[in-house]
Chain A
């Protein structure tokens, strides 16, 4: 499986944010997208996911087989918000996404254990701190299987220990043949990740 972008362009509100982005990410690889604020990192991820129209060029996934014919069906998208309901408990939230996304992988308890939130599944999501919320939504990546992870500032709000743990989770995902595309300012602790710097002249 590989993710290929050719001469990709994106726009927001009619203004071109970036253009001419090209990359190939193979199975087991990670691509870290960096750049100053406003360089279009989030827009790039949303264009790749198909949430924004492609303004130029194309992006596609190859070798997804029957299970993952398109990028949308093959990806987990982790946005700035956490896509969790504050009045439902953490476990209820995760169970919902597990059922909705299909292709179940880890159980809810195992996923929470992996991100270091074991034993708090019964709490309403709204009671959690910013870092805990982020970790809970990282657990969301683990409850159903998707080869491609599109992560937008995944480590925002995480402490050092959680960052390291998340680095381990991502390394593990790559080792199992997954692909990671992360937009971030912070080092993610991913060894051998490719880098894409946006917003540079030319």
Chain B
């Protein structure tokens, strides 16, 4: 399993891996917001956490279609499915999700504080948003894995995956943003939405891979 994790990390950082695509998309979205909204610093600071979250969510969805498709194209997926008796397929999917998260989504979390400056956010707000992104984005990857597994056989499945997955990620977005706001605006609480966000991630860490494994087992042709 460690071998699979390392392989996927290697693939994501080597040429054509797409580790940077998400970050650049994230950067592009955040950088254009002030131009669209105008130079109202207070407004930017107020919408900052929400914009960061939405941009991160979309950037997360960007690379999801390659999660299983790359393996399907070269028949690796068949061998991963056949390995079911040794490594439960859901576990294999979980490891792939974790590798995808570490390779493509973690850079977004790392870039978030810098982009928070673009939005004129306070340091504590930046910290809270980064923390909620760190805890919440794995949930998006886990849901996305189920979508990616369903659409694995479609050659241009990227958009379909986004459409399938986006409604399911709304709870993550809501609690992520409300926790981020809770840290800066009184009397909104930070801890409660943050704990629900953590719970969502843990819950989806089980449900997503199981659903994806089911879809993959029945999707081979």
Contact = CB atoms under 8 A, between A and B. Distances in A.
Contact of B82 (A12, A77, A85): A77
Contacts of B73: 81
Interface in B1-43: 2-4, 6-7, 10-11, 14-17
Interface of A: 12-13, 46, 49-52, 69-70, 72-73, 75, 77, 79-88, 92, 95-97, 99-102
15 contacts: A13-B221, A49-B82, A51-B82, A72-B83, A77-B79, A79-B75, A80-B75, A81-B73, A83-B74, A84-B74, A85-B7, A85-B74, A87-B16, A92-B7, A100-B87
Contact of B74 (A51, A75, A82): A82
Interface in B64-85: 73-76, 78-85
Contacts of A52: 220-221
Contacts of B83: 72, 100-101
Contacts of B86: 73, 101-102
B220 A51 contact: yes
B85 A83 contact: no
Given A51-B81, A84-B76, 8 more contacts: A70-B85, A72-B83, A85-B7, A87-B14, A87-B15, A96-B4, A96-B6, A96-B7
List of 7 A-B pairs having minimum Cβ-Cβ separation, nearest first = A99-B3, A73-B85, A81-B75, A79-B75, A87-B14, A83-B76, A83-B75
Contacts of A70: 85
**Interface SS, A side:** loop
Contacts of A12: 221
**Interface SS, B side:** helix
A113 to B, nearest CB: 22
Interface residues of B, number: 27
Select the residue from B15, B82, B87 with max chain A CB neighbours within 10 A: B82
Nearest to A53: B218
Contacts of A49: 78, 82
Nearest to A13: B221
B205 to A, nearest CB: 21
A88 B11 contact: yes
A131 B98 CA distance: 35
Contacts of A95: 3
Contacts of A96: 3-4, 6-7
Contacts of A77: 78-79, 82
Nearest to A74: B85
Nearest to A97: B79
Contact of B85 (A72, A92, A99): A72
Contacts of B16: 87
A90 to B, nearest CB: 14
